[in-house]
Structure 1
Amino acid sequence: MSPLSTDPQRPASRRQIKRWRRYLANERAEAAVYRELAQRRNGEEREILLALADAESRHENYWRDKLGHDIGMPQQPNLATRFYGLMARRFGSVFTLALMQTAENRTPYLSDADAPEQIAADEQIHAEVVRGLAARGREKLSGSFRAAVFGANDGLVSNLALVLGVMGSGVAPNVVLLTGISGLLAGALSMAAGEYISVRSQQELLEAARPNGDAHEVVPQLDVDANELALVYRARGMSAEEAEKQAAAVFHTQETVEAVPEVAEPDLGGSPWSAAISSFVFFASGAFLPLIPFIFGAGNLVGGVIALLLVSLALLLTGGVTGLISGKPPLYRALRQLVIGLGAAAITFGLGALFGLIL
């Protein structure tokens, strides 16, 4: 591919110059973000990030050359790019890569006639590179972190809906508080029990799939002509031809230790008790939030409004984090989480008010 070049014959309008200066500032800042992230990595990931930084620097040089004498004073990049830089300096985590992935996908070069096709293509490829790096980071996120986000969100929505539903029926604030505490304990215990059963069942299934370590002792007594040892290898995933060759080699060498093919030790998913306790704590932490105003003696109206505000902020936070973990735009996920949570609360409040009128 030919190197980037500018067209010195084309006159530039004031609007174009302003746009090119913004591109220049953004490219410079994005290169700095990748270099900042590279300082927190090693090995192959570091090399990839530095290569991305070099590519952004090439784009920066393109806009600098295109501006020529109109380059002017250095400008600040846009707000989003500055935020990415802050994230890279403070955290340097998968969240920054997820944000950069979104930024690369939204490149303005695709619809700008002044941007060469090569730069637009580079940005699309950069998005895929960052997607791969972000995927690596997501895989490294501990299960407890994901459980914290999702468990806390479940507690927020379910207990807010319960509190507002009971409040809508017109009961006293102390009854609302008691109901909320009951909902917190019931939900947290249910989550803990479900997580314990889930993890323990998974462990039992994986343990059942482990090869029998004593099977190798009977290899010398097998019929070489029947060669049933090959069936073991085929059952473990080998093709028929590969299984026959492996079984023949075992018979030939009498290396009985190889009788049962080696398989990777299954990941048993951690302690079921640890998973249960984590689920209890995470759910309870979310479910506790709408109870705070009632614990301090707030009435139904004031307590309900404060609970809504507290839970709304928390839903925006957990929704945004969920979006980053999933590789989706965090703002959309945050707003979706908020709408779903408040929608559930509104429905239960309406039902509670209806039951209060009936009863």
Structure 2
Amino acid sequence: MFAPSKRAAQSALEDFLPKAGTDYAADRNSDYGPNRHHNVSTLSPWIRTRMLTEWAIIQSVLEEHSEKSAAKFIDEVCWRTYWKGWLQLRPAVWEEYLSARAILLEEYSGHLGYEKAIAGETGIDCFDAWATELAETGYLHNHARMWAASIWIHTLKLPWELGADWFLRHLLDGDAASNTLSWRWVAGLHTLGKSYLATTGNIQKYTSGRFSVNRRLATAPIPVPESTPPSIRPLSKLVQPGTEGRIGLLLTEDDLSASDWLPQRFSVDAVSGFLPSTAYKELGIDEKVIDFRRACLAERSGADLFESIDPFIDWCTSRKLSTVLMAEPPVGLWTTTLPVIKTRLFEEGIELLPQRHWWDEIFYPKATHGFFRFKQAIPSALKIIKEPAMTETHV
């Protein structure tokens, strides 16, 4: 269903484009079952790696639909950026999640309810079907994700952190921001006092009656402990490279598009890719997910693809690089790897300088509150997308 190539990604986009307007807005909430998600784009695994970029997708959509008719789809594309920007401004939330996850995995080891949930053996027909689809395909319709998370948290009374861990291990499009924060939202932590409750009627309506929902679902959310909203940390100030010395480009699975926009900004002498497979394995990420991202990264980076630090450092020194550029990684799987690589390069007299694409530069600072305040930045982005001359100046 999801081939790890630009050709497959572009083909999927072209297939979806005719439906990206009012058809999408009218039918996007329906989950017709595994391999029948024709009413939504299913582009998220490629967007996750930026094999397909948000701005290029929207540009293609606006070539076929008016801004008004495509507004709902454009909003949904921007939700992923909102989550990334929100977490980029509050990295402590990711650290807190990781700490809680580690404790809970030990505490719930052998816990019957937890084991049955991740195996799809709860006896709740819809939940078990989604658990099976997740494990087999690495994908779930967004509405199914919300329903499953609600049942996990409010009906099965399992910790949201373990549910987020379960999804992150299997979703081809899973990332720290959209996954963690979506689970927090369902639990009632993202917007305090606002939880999400799945209902039998809603599930039956939007799954075309495929499920009887053969267990009474929670009618009240779990209590949410009072907490102080996480503090905002300003975005890092990024440094431009100097004009002297050789420059290398480090591609990551978080932003493959850097192979396009960074060489347009700077003269790049060598390109390599790096997949932090140790971080993936520490989080128990499924091999299907790792293989998908590795293959996507290999297609864009070529033969020089690394998964451990020493060979990458050797590659940099052998090419006599003075600077290595990369797209700034979002908070998540690169959070622990990046400082280690930066230190090792510094010891060799090489600077590692992350850079930020104009899309993130526009949107991340706006993720200070909710999505509806955040989306006020969408017109500025659309103006750049619709005017090629402006796009070139914002590369």
Give the structure-2-normalised TM-score. Answer: 0.20
Hey, which of these two has a bigger chunk of strand by percent? 2
Identify the structure with the greater helix proportion.
1
